[in-house]
Structures are given as structure tokens and as C-alpha cells.
Structure 1
Amino acid sequence: MFGLWPLQNGVIYTVQWLVMFVAASLTLMNALMESVKSCDVPRDGLEILRLIESCIHAWLNIIFPRIYMKKLAVNINSAIDDWWSSLTKKELQVIMEYARTGRLVTLTQLIVGSIGGTLWFASVFLSNKNKVASIENNTAWNFVIPSTCIYNGVSYSTYQALFVMQAVQGFLVLMSECACDSFFFSITMHLCGQLELLRIQFIEICKKPYADEKRHGNIFGPLVKRHCHLIKLTRNIEDAFNINILIRLLIISVVIAASGLGIILSINSHDYKEIIKMVISIQFYMIQTFLYTYAGDILQNRSESIVYAIYSSTWHEMSPIMVKDLIFIMMRMKIPLRISAGKFFYLARTTMTDILKTTLTYISFLQVTVDK
């Protein structure tokens, strides 16, 4: 539908991608123009800020996967080969566990996103119900995408056409935002499952007695090649998503800080409807942040667990040549596989707390500025 599936790269899928790119670009331009355009109609600046964040995120989700489509295709083909390979019952259970996690997150993202989008479209449509009864040339309609200043005073027939167009734009932006995030999470979870299988294979090999020292090279060779392949898959994910993740986390910090200040102001004015609205939006952004940081943290932990598994094995009973090979393997694996945000910092669970600390600092600064 979006023209972003790495294994499909024909004319039809290119056209689909161009449609998505144009829709996301127009939506982003609409939000930016609305934010800078001045008019006498009251507007919700925080709502426009949240829309700009969503549009930028969706736009990046459309651009970067397309640029790195060949690298992502390597990850998809590798996952297909893993599922078609002969797996034992224990190995199948391991990768099925990570596959279920990715599927659960994907379905939750799409279902919640669809429900939220439908409720938003319905609320905007119902909010204009009273205005239809007294249509005037200067009627300030409520739009799906905030456009009160841009389309101020349009007729009701024009408004209907714009409403349908913006509903389609909003749906495409919403789906591209949820689907690409779910795609990132799913392929990262599969990579974590493969690292867990590699750890199990190292444990099993280290338990086996090998009397013939001349065969030691063939023992660890396939596992080392497998680890090198997983390193390549991690770099593909890193290249395709690191800039997107950095911009996403930076904007989320600002939006959460602004929403937190909005909650404080709404409490003072006893606007409980706005409080609930902002709390829900903050929870949504926190879940999005947790999705990235959780995947990065699990990937790092599964990579580091291989080193601990080798060290906990009976290496002291092996021949000196095999121990020497294990040392070199551990030296390489001491550098864990990680995903960064724009090469500035790595994604881990501590990233979540760092973002919260930063947003609290922003809220305190903004509150002091507003009080003055």
C-alpha cells in the first residue's frame, strides 16, 4: 500500500510511494503554513505542534526506508531464510517468542492508531454540526488537519471536499507512522531471536568434548560467520533508522514538555477536558519512545549475553588452541550490537529516563518563563 516493502520494487510500488510522499509532504506543508500564518481565528498552538511532529515522523518514515530499501531487503530475506531453515523444537520456540512480541506490538499499534484516528475524524465532523445550521461566508470550520487560517471563510461545499481530502491525508500519515515503527520493532525483535539462538549454540558446542584439536577451527567457524552476518543486519537497521529515531526523540521531548506545561495551565484554569486530552497524547508519545528504547535495549542485552555464556562454559577443560580462539571471539563480542539515535547516543532503557529528565527541565524553564 505504501510502496515501502523492501522486496517489491516495481513501477506500481514506486507510484504508490510517490502518492504517499506527496500526501505526507502536503500535510507537513499545511501544518507549517498554519503555524506561521496569522489570522483572527483562535487556534490551538499545541495541537498544531503535535500535528507537525506526526507529519515529520511520517515523512521520515517514508523517506529513509525507501533510501535504504536494498539493505532492509537483506534483513527480510535473511529472516525468510531463518524460518525456512531446519530448526529444532527448542530453536523454533525461541524465535516464535520474539515473533509473537513483534506481532503483538504491530497489531496493537495499528488497532489503537486506527481507533484514535477514527475518533478524531468523528469529533471534528461532529464539532461542525452546529455550524452547518447557520452557514455564513466567514464560517471558521474545524478541519481534520488544523487549517483554520489557510481555509478561513470557505463555503460548505468546499469544506466538504477539503474534509474528505484531509481525512485521506490523515489516514495515510497515521498508517505510515504506525506501520513503519512496527516494522522497525519486528525486524529488531527477529534479530534478537537470532542472537539468542547463537548464544544457545555456543553453550551447546562448549559443552561437547573434542579430543581432536585439529578440528577446532571447524567448530567455531560457522558460529563466527553467523555472528558476522548478524552484525551486518544490525548495521542495516542502524543505517535505515538512526536519523529518523534521533529527530523523533528530539521533537518528542519538546512536545511532551509543551504538553506538560499545558497541563499545568489547564489545571489552573480548570479545563479538565484539555487535561485528559494532553495526558493521552503524552502517554502516546511515551509508548512510542518505549518502543524504540525497548528494542535497542533487548538487542544490546542479547548481544552481551553471548560473551557471558562463553565465559560461563567449561573453557578451562578445552585445549589451549580452542581457548585462544574463544578469547578472540569474546574480544569481538565485547562490543555489543546496538542501535544509535543519529550516532549521538545508543538506545537503551536509560534513554527513557534521560528523555523524562530533559522534558522536566524544559517544563520547569517554560513555567518560569510564563510566570514572568
Structure 2
Amino acid sequence: MIHNQHYKKDVKYVVEQSHVVLRMLGIWPLTDRRPNTIEKVTNIFLVIICYFLLHCDMVPGVLYYMFVDDGARERMKMMPPILYSIMAIAKYSNLIVHECNIRRCLRHIEEDWRTMMVSDAREMMQDKANTGRRLFTLCCTFMYCGGLSYNTIMPLSKGSIVTDQNVTIRPLSCPGYYVFFNPQNSPAYEIVFLLQCLCGFVMYTITVAICGLAAVFVMHACAQMEILMRLMEDLVNKDECEQQNIVAKLAIIIEHQIRIRNFLQLVENTLRYSSLVEIVGCTTIICLTGYCIIGEWEDKNIAALCSYVAALTSVIINIFILCYIGEYITTQAEEISLTSCTLDWYRLPTNMAQDLVLVTAFSNVPPRMTAGKFIDLSFKTFGDVIKSAAVYLNLLRQLTE
């Protein structure tokens, strides 16, 4: 065991991106102490504000969809923001419910950074941490750029519309039915427009937070898997086999392997329902957004078309990152299985070689990241999502034409 004197700095580097977005949502769990009264009140206030903003799109949008009789195309355009609001509320609630699990994952990461198993473990973990930060940055860039362009550029690009009754209508990113006031009058229009932009910001922050946590946790587990493979190779090293501490080394391997499995199971329990909402909901959103893109193309509205394309790209990139993370952990687990099966076990004493069979058998059952326990996060799932969305889009066009 090697004590890392810089573990606090390393842990801060690993989680600082997720720390920022979770603090904005009021759900960052402290790992070293209990929150004081001011911090509790601040977090509760932020949660209330976030829930209020999330309902600013959903409630008026649902009322508009139920009580205002618009054409089929206009009703289809309303569905993506309403559905995305519902998804955001579900994912945000899941994060709040699993705040204790997030805290346990963060403590697990801190313990792994504090004590190193091999001499170059810090370099391995930093390499995976850099990969996780790049994935977070990629998701953050596409979500905020694509999402905020949908909330700002698309409604502003349409300009004011004058009806036959000489009534001026200023468009919003999500039309809504407001019972107590007319959103077309100033300053009501400006307030509603600002609230919709803030609502979009909160929704995209929730998505980025989930993607960032998944990247941080899974990449940390992959680093620990690389360390596990190094421990396995050192066990049968010709120089090491002559020492008397083979039993202790085998015990360390078994404990480390179980620790990795427990950590991945905790991550799975924390994020599986959010991932399920993301996969199922975004499949529908890709279909509906594709329908809107075709409509804007026919209307030759280039600005709105670009906004829809940017929003569609951000959704696809987010699903791809989740599937890439799941595929990455599966590939890393398969490498552990291959390493355990190709060890020079004959260098070990007979009784130790027999014990190694159990380690090999355990390694041949690779862990998987799933969405709701029944959808594997993998490149195959990403392909299935795109194909399903294309099929639904084709069916939707046939039903509405």
C-alpha cells in the first residue's frame, strides 16, 4: 500500500466539474462532514427554485396541448419541450432520492485516491480522470449550445406574427396556456421568455450532471480495473513468486476485485433509472425533433432548422456518451477476464494455483452498466435507439400526412 500525499488535490481535480453542476442544483453531497444549517437552507431553496423552473414549461405546455386547438404539425412541435421537461423532473427527482448513494460513491473514490495499490496507480487514475473530464466537457458543450439555441434563436428567428384580426403574436420556444394573464403583453412576454430560458438551463444542467457523474464513476472503476490487472500480473511474476507473501497478494487481488464490483453495483443503483429515462425519452425526442426538422425544411425557415439540428445533435451526443461509457466498462472487464485466463499460473504453488481458479471464474462474469436493469448501455443500444427513432419518424409522417 502506498499513501498518496496529494489525494485531496487529485480528488478535487476529478470531481470539480460535477461539483459545480450539482451545487447549482442543490444536491451536492458533502463527504467529510454534515452540512450546517445555512447549507441545508440554501440547498432546499435551490431545489425549490429548480422544481419551479422545471414546471414553467411543462404545466403551461400541457394546458395548451389540452385546451387549444392547433394543427397537427404545431401540436407535434410542442411535444419535445413538454416531454423533455417531464424527463428532467424524473431525472432530478432520481438524483435527489439517490443523494446518499452519490455520497458513498464519492467517498469510495476518495479512499481509492488516498491509498494506492501499485507504484504507478496515480498515473493510471489520472489518465482515466482526464478521459472522464473530456466526456463531461463534450456533453456540456453540446447540451448548452444546442439547448439554449432552441430556447433563444428559434423563437426570435420567427419574429412577430400579425394575424388577420390585426393581433401581434410573439413566439415562444414552448407555447403555453396561461390562465391568469396574456403572455403576449409586456412585460409578461419578457418574463415568460426569461423563465423558459432558465427552465432550459436547469434541464440541460440536470442532463450534464447525470452524464458527468456516470463519466467520473465509470472511468474511476476502469482505472481500478487496470490496477487489478497489474496486481494479477505481479502475482505470477517470476521474481515475486519466490517470496513468501503470495497468500497476502492473492487476498489483496480478491478484495480489490470485490471492491470494484461493489462500487459498480452502487453506481448502477444510482444511475440506472436516470439512464432508462434518458434512453427511452430521447428515442421519442429524436423522432419528434426529426419530424420538426422536416417541417422547417419544407417551410424554408433556416434559423429554426439550425436550432432543431443543434438540439437533435446534443441529444444524440448525450445518448452516445452514455452508451460509450457502458461499452468502455464492458471492454475493460473483458480485458480483466483475458488477463486472468492467460496468467502463468504454473509458477505458483499448487494450492495457490487452485485458489486462482475462483478469481478467474469471477473475472469471466463481466459487470455491465444498464438502463433500468434490462437495457445494456453499449454501442448496440445506441444503434438500436437511432434505428427505432427512424422507424417511429417514418410511421409518424405516414400518420400525419
TM-superposed deviation, 1:229: 1.6
Aligned match of 1:309: 339
One-letter code aligned to 2:29: P
Aligned match of 1:146: 175
Gaps of at least 5 residues in structure 1 are none
Closer/same/farther in 2, CA of residues 273 and 169 from structure 1, 3 Å limit: closer
Residue deviations 1:94-141 (CA, integer Å, cap 9, x gap): 21121111112222333443334554454267458657x99x995433
TM-superposed deviation, 1:169: 2.3
Residue deviations 1:245-303 (CA, integer Å, cap 9, x gap): 11221122222223334455555666655554443333222211111111111111212
The answer to whether the 8 A contact 2:64-2:175 is kept is: yes
Query: In 2, Cα distance between the equivalents of 1:183 and 1:94?
Result: 19
The answer to whether the 8 A contact 1:144-1:170 is kept is: no
Query: In 2, Cα distance between the equivalents of 1:291 and 1:7?
Result: 27
Query: In 2, Cα distance between the equivalents of 1:241 and 1:6?
Result: 16
Report SS of the residue matched to 1:210: helix
Matches within 5 A, 1:40-51: 44-51=74-81
The answer to whether the 8 A contact 1:43-1:148 is kept is: no
Of 44, 47, 53 in structure 1, the residue corresponding to residue 83 of structure 2 is: 53
Aligned match of 1:202: 232
The answer to whether the 8 A contact 2:77-2:292 is kept is: no
Closer/same/farther in 2, CA of residues 138 and 240 from structure 1, 3 Å limit: farther
One-letter code aligned to 1:147: G
Query: In 1, Cα distance between the equivalents of 2:53 and 2:349?
Result: 63
Query: In 2, Cα distance between the equivalents of 1:57 and 1:130?
Result: 30
Query: In 1, Cα distance between the equivalents of 2:321 and 2:67?
Result: 35
Of 309, 315, 321 in structure 1, the residue corresponding to residue 351 of structure 2 is: 321
Query: In 1, Cα distance between the equivalents of 2:380 and 2:149?
Result: 34
Matches within 5 A, 1:174-323: 174-208=204-238, 209-211=240-242, 215-264=245-294, 275-323=305-353
The answer to whether the 8 A contact 1:341-1:347 is kept is: yes
Report SS of the residue matched to 2:360: helix
One-letter code aligned to 1:298: Y
Report SS of the residue matched to 1:44: helix
The answer to whether the 8 A contact 1:74-1:233 is kept is: no
One-letter code aligned to 1:210: C
Are 1:4 and 2:27 counterparts? yes
Query: In 2, Cα distance between the equivalents of 1:171 and 1:267?
Result: 27
One-letter code aligned to 1:27: D
State the structure with bigger RCO (CA 8 A, min sep 6), 1 or 2. 2
Of 63, 66, 71 in structure 1, the residue corresponding to residue 93 of structure 2 is: 63
Matches within 5 A, 1:63-82: 63-82=93-112
TM-superposed deviation, 1:335: 1.5
Gaps of at least 5 residues in structure 2 are 1-23
The answer to whether the 8 A contact 2:143-2:311 is kept is: no
The answer to whether the 8 A contact 1:138-1:154 is kept is: no
The answer to whether the 8 A contact 1:109-1:178 is kept is: yes
Residue deviations 1:318-347 (CA, integer Å, cap 9, x gap): 222112111111212222111111111211
The answer to whether the 8 A contact 1:101-1:189 is kept is: yes
Closer/same/farther in 2, CA of residues 188 and 321 from structure 1, 3 Å limit: same
Residue deviations 1:227-250 (CA, integer Å, cap 9, x gap): 212212111111121122112211
One-letter code aligned to 1:104: R
One-letter code aligned to 1:192: C
Of 346, 352, 356 in structure 1, the residue corresponding to residue 386 of structure 2 is: 356
The answer to whether the 8 A contact 2:62-2:176 is kept is: no
Aligned match of 1:103: 133
Which range moves more in the overlay, 148-157 or 176-185? Answer: 148-157
Report SS of the residue matched to 2:29: coil
Closer/same/farther in 2, CA of residues 113 and 233 from structure 1, 3 Å limit: same
One-letter code aligned to 1:256: I
One-letter code aligned to 1:3: G
The answer to whether the 8 A contact 2:53-2:195 is kept is: no
TM-score (norm 2): 0.80
Query: In 2, Cα distance between the equivalents of 1:263 and 1:158?
Result: 29
Of 183, 193, 198 in structure 2, the residue corresponding to residue 168 of structure 1 is: 198
* Total equivalences in the alignment: 368
TM-score (norm 1): 0.86
Residue deviations 1:159-212 (CA, integer Å, cap 9, x gap): 222223333222222222222322222222112111122112211222244347
Aligned match of 1:158: 188
